[in-house]
Amino acid sequence: MTLSRLTAGTALTLLLMGVGSNAKAVAPEGSPNPAIVTESGPLKGLISPSIRKFLGIPYAAPPLAERRWTPPRPYGRWHGVFQATQFGNSCPQRNFFGTLSGDEDCLSLNVYTPGFRKNEHKHHGLPVMVWIHGGSLTEGSGGLYDPTPLVEKGGVIVVTINYRLGVLGFLAHPALDAEGHLNANYGLMDQQFALKWVRRNIAAFGGDPRRVTIFGESAGGYSVYSHLASPTAARLFHRAIAQSGAYDSFQSYQQRTLPLAVAEIGGTAFATAIGCDNQTTQCLRTTSATALVTAQPGIVYPAIDGTVLTQTPGAALASGQFNRVPVMSGSNYDEWRLYVALGYDYVGAPLTDAGYPTAVASFIGLPLADPFVQFVLFLYPLINYPPPPGVVSAPLALGAVGTDVVFSCPGRKAARSLSQYVPTYAYEFNDANAPLNFGLVPASFPLGSYHAAEIQYLLNIGGTPAPFTASQQQLSDTMIGYWTRFAKTGNPNSLGAPAWSPYNTATDRFQSLVPPTPTGTSNFDTDHKCSSFWDTF
C-alpha cells in the first residue's frame, strides 16, 4: 500500500465482515407510537419504555433514471400513515469481498428519541445529533449504527442518514457538469438535504432545530470538515464533531480533493472503462448501478465544484473561511494498526521484522534506497517499539508511521486551524485494549486503539453493545457525557466529569480518552513527530 493510495474509512468499511452494510431492522418490544406529522405526512415508529425509533424515513426523492447524478429533490407526500419500522435500503456499494448490495432508492434517515417522559419537551426541545457514517465514501449505511447509548444516557435525539456513495455520489464528468445543476458532490448534497429535513421536521419528534450537531467518523469525519468548509451548509448545524476525519487536505502531502476540471479527467476515464466511450449522459445513466459500483475505485473524494465546496476543508479552516461553530475533533492513538492487519495478517502474510524496511518503502511509495525512506526508518526504528511476548515489532512500528502520517498530524493541524477562530476541543482516543468490532478477528499483534475503535464507546455497532470491562464502561459513559454535553451547550464539560480544556496552540493540549478516567496531555506533538517532521512537508 503506497502513500498515494492512503485512505481513511477503508478499515471501517472493509471490515463490515460480520455485520454487513445492509442491516435489517428488528422491532423492539412495545407498540407503535402515535402518529407524528412530518412534511410528507404522518408516520409511526417503534416504541419501548426508554427509546423510540423511527426508521427508514425518506428525506429525498429516489435518485433514479434521469435523477441519477442530480441534486436531491423533495420526496413529496406519501399516502396514509408511513410505517417507519424498518431501515431503508443501503445505497449501492461493494464490500471487501466483492459482494454487491444496496439500491439507488436509498435516501432515507432514522430518528431515535428518548422514550416519553413527563414534561420531556417543555421549553425548546432536545438537542439533535446527526451521525454521518464512514466508509471511504463508498460503503456503509446509517442503519449499521445504533445510537441507543447516546439517546438513553445522554438525553438527546440522534438521526442517522444514508447518502449516495462511490461514483453514484461523487462523479465529476464534463457531460453531467454541463447540465446546469450543482456538480460532482451529490453525496455531500444529500447530507445537507438531510440536515434541511431535520431543520424542518425535527420539532415534531421533540427536537430543537436550533441545536443540531453533526458528527461522524473517518469518511463521516471528513464529511464534517467538508460541511464546515461548505458555503451551502451555512446555518444547517450549530456544532460539529469530527472523528478521525482529517485524512485529506490538511497536509501538503495529502491533497486529493481536486478542482472540478481535474476531477472530470478521472470521470472521463471512468466512463470509458464502463463502456461509455461516447461520454454521453444517456450512456452513463442507463448503465446499471451494479456495473458502476463494480468498476469504481476503492475510495472517492469530493471535488472543488465552486459552490458546495469552493476550497478544500484544510484551506478553509486555515483561512477562517468556514462555518464558525464550536468543534470537537480527534483521532485514535493506534489508527494505522488496523490497516497493517488488513494488508498483512488478514491476507495470510503477517509482517516480519525482516520485512519492515520494504513495508515502509511500499507505504511511502518510494524505493527502499531513497533517502527519505531511510530517514523514516531512522525515525521509527524497531527498537523503539518493544512488542509483547510472542509478537514482533514491525507491525507496531509500521502502525506508528501510518498513524502519524495519515491521521495524527493532519488532525492536529485541523485543531490548530480551528482554534484560531472557534472553541475547539481536541482529543486522542487511547484504550490499548479496545474490544474488536466490525467482525474483526485477532491479528498477530495487538490492534490497540485501532481505526474506528472509539465508535463502540458511543454507539452500538450492528445493534450489539461492546463487551466492556468495568473501566472501559466508565470511559464509555464519560465519552457519552462529553459528546452529548457538547451537543447541548457547545462545551463538553460538566460537573463530575474530568475537565477538558479547550485546545490552543500555546499549550497544545489534547484530552487523552484513556480508561477509566480521561486526562489532559501535552505530549501529542512529540509522540507523533508532527512539528519535528511531518508538518515540514
Structural domains of the chain sorted by starting position, each given as residue range(s) with its CATH number in brackets:
9-64+81-330 (3.40.50.1820)
Whether pTM > 0.85 for this model: the answer is yes
Write the burial class of residue 4 (CB in 10 Å: 0-12 exposed, 13-18 middle, 19+ buried): exposed
DSSP 8-class letter at 57: E
Q: How many CA atoms lie within 13 A of 254 on its CB side?
A: 29
- Fill in the amino acid letter for 32: P
Measured CA distances, 202 to 13, 40, 59, 392, 418 (Å): 29, 13, 12, 52, 29
For the chain, report the end-to-end CA distance as a whole number of angstroms.
20
pLDDT at 198: 98
DSSP state of 457: G
Q: Residue 26's pLDDT is what?
A: 34
The predicted structure's pLDDT at residue 34: 79
Q: What are the Cα distances from residue 322, in Å, to 129, 340, 414, 423, 490?
A: 20, 35, 12, 14, 17
Q: Which residue of the set 218, 230, 329, 512 is catalytic? A: 218
> Which of 133, 451, 512, 528 is the catalytic position?
451
Ranges under pLDDT 50 in the chain: 1-32, 118-120
Q: What is the pLDDT of residue 33?
A: 55
What is the pLDDT, as a whole number, of residue 324?
98
Q: What are the cell numbers at 524?
A: 501529542
Would you call 218 a catalytic residue per the annotation?
Answer: yes
State the Cα–Cα distance between residues 133 and 463, nearest whole angstrom.
Answer: 15
Q: Is 335 a catalytic residue?
A: yes
Q: How far apart are CA 325 and CA 319, in angstroms?
A: 15
Q: For this structure, is 428 an active site residue?
A: no
At position 404, the amino acid (one-letter code) is D
| pLDDT score at 119 | 39
Residue that is written with C-alpha cell 465552486 in the block: 306
Distance between CA 443 and CA 450 in Å, rounded?
12
Report pLDDT for 3. 42
Report the Cα 334 to chain-centroid distance in Å: 17
Backbone angles phi, psi at 161, to 5 degrees: -130, 155
What is the rounded CA–CA span in Å between residue 21 and residue 38?
Answer: 27
Give the separation between CA 392 and CA 383, rounded to whole angstroms: 11
Pick the catalytic residue: 217, 335, 428, 454?
335
